[in-house]
Amino acid sequence: MPSDTETRATVGFFATCLVDLFRPSVGFAAARLIERAGYRVVVPRAQSCCGQPGYNSGDRDAARRAARRAVAVFEGFEHVVAPSGSCAAMFVHHFPDLLSDDAGWEGRARALAGKTCELVDFLARVAGWRPEAAPPAAGSITYHDSCAGLRELGIREQPRALIAAAGAPELREMEGPDICCGFGGTFCVKYPAISEAMADKKIDAIEATGADTVVGGDLGCLLHIEGRLSRRGSAVGTSHVAELLAAGSGDGMGGD
Amino acid sequence: MHADSARFPDNVTAARRDPMLLGALQRLQRDARAGRAEVIARLPEFEALRDAAREIRNGALANLAANLERFEENVIANGGAVHWCRDAAEAGAAVTRICREAGARTVAKGKSMVSEEIALNAALLGAGFDVVETDLGEYVLQLRDETPSHIVIPAIHLTKDQFAETFRDAHDALPEDRSLEEARAITDEARGALRDVFLRADVGITGANFLIAETGSVVIVTNEGNGDLAQSLPRTHIVVTGIEKALGTVEEALTLVRVLARSATGQEISAYTTFATGARRADDAAGPEAFHVVLVDNGRSDLLGGPKREILRCIRCGACQTVCPVYGAVGGHAYGAVYAGPVGSVLTPALSGLETAKHLPEASSFCGACEAVCPVRIPLPRLLRLWRQDAFQAHLGPTALRWGLFAWSALTAWPGAYRAAGAIGGRVLRLLAMGRPRLARLPFAGKWTGGRDLPVPEGGTFVGQWHRRRGK
């Protein structure tokens, strides 16, 4: 592994709204992992949202504005990394589509798409990084594959490889780890009854594993699952994969 | 249940209170998941076949007009007739006219979703014909006055006991103490009741999985054999189908057959794949004397010329319904449309208008499970998103959402203000939570907190803290 001084390249870190506003500690954990993998992390102040709320609600113009802003803020970096499959998929797939009829922007969006990665995909595949220390014993975990990361970015083995390399804790696969938890952005408040039913199926599968913690790569899904677990009075905890991996490779730059 | 799309939110509430339905859906999805995985594991080239199937359907749509004309020429050469119908009314009238000219009393129907789309049974019953569905599921639905809730498993919302109960009510000439415990007993009873219908029928109506231009053949892919009886025993055979089904060659159909059953039911191939080519010839031992194909447009040409044309690749396998977690939570009837689930949420606004069907494209978490199983790789989430864009432009959504999006969009243009507002919101939530990690109730957030606690933000923002800690 390269040491912290042999910095290879600069990563522009896109925090995502939910990490920025709800769980800064996930952002710090993610940044620490990227640094551990040998990269310099830059967090542009000018970043805001990737545009998903507008894009998925049919407000294409608002999504295009968000896309152009993100392109302008992040196109100068060698790599761009986001701790979320759905936000990274906006950069990788949807910005080029949104800006496809905009001659001045299409090429820039494509260039940015080519160098943007979701966090664990970046660590495992691009950086070839493996955790050097096991996370502190945290009981057993189960892994939820978030939809956009899985189906738009092909993230399935990457987090499992990193967790396995860390040596612990024990990963117990649930039935249907790839089935949606029912979050879906605004979907969860447009159709709460359907969203909760989907969360219940997910939680039944989680609880059937007997795992202590459900781990995932998207904070939206995790907050949703956490909210429903808590309402059901479940003892199962939630953790972002960045927190899990960073717990074992710590240098005190954590969030709280 | 005769629900309609405009009442989707109410239909959802009703469906969630129906334990029999929810149990049936859970079994369907669990079994289908395992069945599909198994059948695909045995065919390593399945993904390549999906690519081939997509290209076949794309090519067929690109040559649709030519394929349809060639199909018609060959049907006529084989002694049949083709009837072109712009919409449901024209198609219903065409079938009614053919039945009348055939002097029909009894009409035996094979399974056909297009006939549901054009409400054919109502049209024929209204014209005085005795119409009987002969697919087991469709037969039970007809007895119960219900509509299909799934494209290939129309009565999936019913349990075996409900089948038995329906038969006890309908077949009142049979002994009351007969056992209908076993599925076999139920199918045997249906077989007995329907045998007479096949022999009595003057007209048989089927749908079509594919139309083949080079031969003028109509292909049906079935499991029960009722379609074969319906199209070969009566004097007149009428095929009712959508114009998008036309392919160029037999070869193309055979490739599509390879992905169809695997996607639909987890079978390698269905029990029957039958090619019907024209009316009975002089030296044929059996077959109908008259052969008619009723081609229904009903909005398909408009789709073909627009940005959602990819939905016309659909070969009606129902895999997107079976896998969809939203479908699995509410069942097909909640959609209030002929075609439920992801494919239906794309088709229905085109068939019945976006204003009526505006809820359907919203009823997706965009999880993408549908696209992941679609044998012809239709990008269903992308097409649903296009309908959301149309709805947004037409101001069909709630005003509050519109204002929310406007405020969000404006705020994100000013990252400093966006973050400051977020931090203030977080502080308010932390004050309300008084040290607890989650809020159980929050004014104006009932859509979330009705069923979920709201995790409270940690405090501050990541970007703000990062720059404070790391210096400038």
| Three-state SS annotation for B409-464 | HHHHCCHHHHHHHHHHHHHHHHHHHCCCCEECCCCCCHHHHCCCCEECCCCCCHHH
Rounded to an integer, the average pLDDT of A242-248 is 89
Regarding whether A146 and A43 lie in a shared domain, the answer is no
What pLDDT sits at residue B472? 52
Contact B426 A179 (CB under 8 A): no
Task: Quick: pLDDT tens for B124-133.
Answer: 999 999 999 9
A13 and A122 co-located in one domain: yes
Mark which of A126, A155, A183 sits at the end of a domain: A126
Do A108 and A155 lie in one domain? The reply is no
Q: Is residue B226 part of a domain?
A: yes
Write down which residue in B249, B265, B298 finishes a domain. Answer: B298
Nearest partner of B446 among A198, A53, A193, A154, judged by Cα: A193
In this prediction, residues B135-153 reach a mean pLDDT of: 97
- The domain boundary residue, chosen from B298, B321, B355: B298
A106 and A78 both lie in a single domain: yes
Encode pLDDT of B291-350 as tens digits: 999 999 999 999 999 999 999 999 999 999 999 999 999 999 999 999 999 999 999 999
Determine contact, residues A175/A233, Cβ cutoff 8 Å.
no
Say if A256 falls within a structural domain.
no
Mean pLDDT of A85-108: 96
Listing DSSP states for A117-148 in one string gives: EEHHHIIIIIS----SSPPPP---EEEE--HI
Pairwise CA distance, residues A234 & A225, whole Å? 11
Q: Is residue A234 part of a domain?
A: yes
Q: Is residue B249 part of a domain?
A: yes
**Nearest to B320, CA basis, from B374, B266, B361, B364:** B374
For residue A73, is it within any domain? yes
Tell me, yes or no, if A187 comes closer than 8 A to chain B by beta carbon. yes
Asked if pLDDT for residue A5 goes beyond 70, the answer is no
Q: Please report where in the chains the tokens 């904070």 appear, as a residue.
A: A219
Mean pLDDT of A86-99: 98
- Mean of pLDDT values over A97-105: 94
Residue that is last in its domain, among B270, B298, B326: B298
Structure tokens at A39: 């990269």
Do both A98 and A176 map to the same domain? no
CATH of the domain at B57: 3.40.50.10420
B426 within a domain of the structure (yes/no): yes
Give the mean model confidence (pLDDT) for residues B212-219.
98
Mutate to test the interface with A, among B327, B366, B418 (most CBs of A within 10 A): B366
Predicted pLDDT at B319? 98
Instruction: Name the 3-class secondary structure at B469.
Output: helix
- The percent of residues above 70 in pLDDT, for chain B, comes to 99
Q: Give domain status of residue B326, yes or no.
A: no
- The answer to whether residue A140 scores a pLDDT higher than 60 is yes
Residue ranges making up the domain that contains A58: 9-126
How far apart are alpha carbons B339 and B118 in whole angstroms? 12
B256 and B118, same domain (yes or no): yes
Token pair 């008259």 in the structure block, residue: B290
Answer yes or no: do A148 and B455 touch at CB < 8 A: no
Contact (CB<8Å) A58/B389: yes
The mean pLDDT of A46-71, rounded to a whole number, is 96
**How many domains does the structure of chain B reveal?**
2
Nearest-neighbour CA in chain B from A45: distance (Å): 7
Q: What is the CATH number for A175?
A: 3.40.50
Q: pLDDT by residue (tens digit) across A157-175?
A: 999 999 998 876 789 999 9
Does residue B452 belong to any structural domain of this protein? yes
Same-domain check for residues A108 and A146? no
Domain boundary among A92, A126, A160: A126
Q: Cα-flanking dihedrals φ and ψ of residue B206, to 5°? A: -130, 165
User: Which pair of structure tokens corresponds to residue A200?
Assistant: 């219940």
Give how far B406 is from chain A: nearest CA, Å: 8
A17 shares its domain with A90: yes
Q: pLDDT (tens digit, 9 = 90+) per residue, B375-428?
A: 999 999 999 999 999 999 999 988 988 998 899 999 999 999 999 999 999 999
User: Which residue shows structure tokens 């769980």?
Assistant: A23
Pairing of strands B217-222, B272-276: antiparallel
The answer to whether residues A209 and A243 belong to one domain is yes
Domain co-membership, A180 together with A92? no
A98 vs A120: CA distance, rounded Å: 25
In B, which residues are within 8 Å of A81 by CB distance?
A: none
Q: What is the pLDDT of residue B444?
A: 82
Domain contains B102 = yes
Is A14 in CB contact (< 8 Å) with chain B? no
What gap in Å lies between CA A157 and CA A139, rounded to an integer?
Answer: 21
Strand ranges (E), B63-163: 81-85, 106-109, 130-133
Give domain status of residue A196, yes or no: yes
Residue A64 has pLDDT above 70, yes or no: yes
Residue B163 has pLDDT above 50, yes or no: yes
pLDDT of A251 over the 60 cut: no
Give how far A240 is from chain B: nearest CA, Å.
Answer: 14
Give percent above pLDDT 90 in chain B.
Answer: 94
CB contact under 8 A, A22 and B448: no
In a domain, B390, yes or no: no
Same domain assignment for residues A105 and A153: no
Split into its structural domains, chain A has a count of 2
Which of A2-11, B194-203, B425-434, B437-446 bottoms out in mean pLDDT, i.e. has the lowest?
A2-11
Selected residue of A13, A21, A97 to mutate for chain B interface (largest B Cβ count, 10 A): A21
Looking at every residue in chain B, the average pLDDT score rounds to 95
Which residues in chain A touch residue B469, judged by CB atoms under 8 angstroms apart?
253
pTM comes to 0.95
ipTM: 0.95
Pair B124, B260 in one domain: yes
A200 shares contact with chain B (CB less than 8 Å): no
Residue numbers in B near A183 (CB within 8 A): 365
pLDDT score for A169:
78
Provide the token pair at A14. Answer: 């896109």
B74, B202: one domain:
yes
Q: Is there a single domain that holds both residue A95 and residue A175?
A: no
A50 to chain B, any CB pair closer than 8 A? The answer is no
Residue B289 pLDDT exceeds 90: yes
The identity of residue B454, as a single letter, is: L
Say yes or no: A187 and A115 in one domain. no
The stretches of B274-414 forming alpha helices (DSSP H) are 300-304, 319-323, 325-330, 341-352, 354-357, 359-362, 369-373, 380-393, 399-412
| Alpha-carbon distance values, B456 to A19, A23, B430 (Å) | 12, 9, 6
Q: Which domain holds residue B292?
A: 43-298
Work out how many CB contacts closer than 8 A connect A with B: 202
**Does A133 map to a domain?**
no
* Nearest by CB: A20 against B452, B463, B467: B463
| Interval B61-74: pLDDT, tens | 999 999 999 999 99
- Same domain flag for B94 and B242: yes
Residue A136 resides in a domain = no
Average pLDDT, chain A: 92
Per-residue pLDDT averaged across B85-100, rounded? 98
pLDDT surpasses 60 at B142:
yes
What's the token pair of residue B310?
């990819």
Whether A4 is covered by a domain: the verdict is no
Q: Is residue A20 one of the residues assigned to a domain? A: yes
Residue B196 lies in a domain: yes
Beta bridge partners of B133: B109
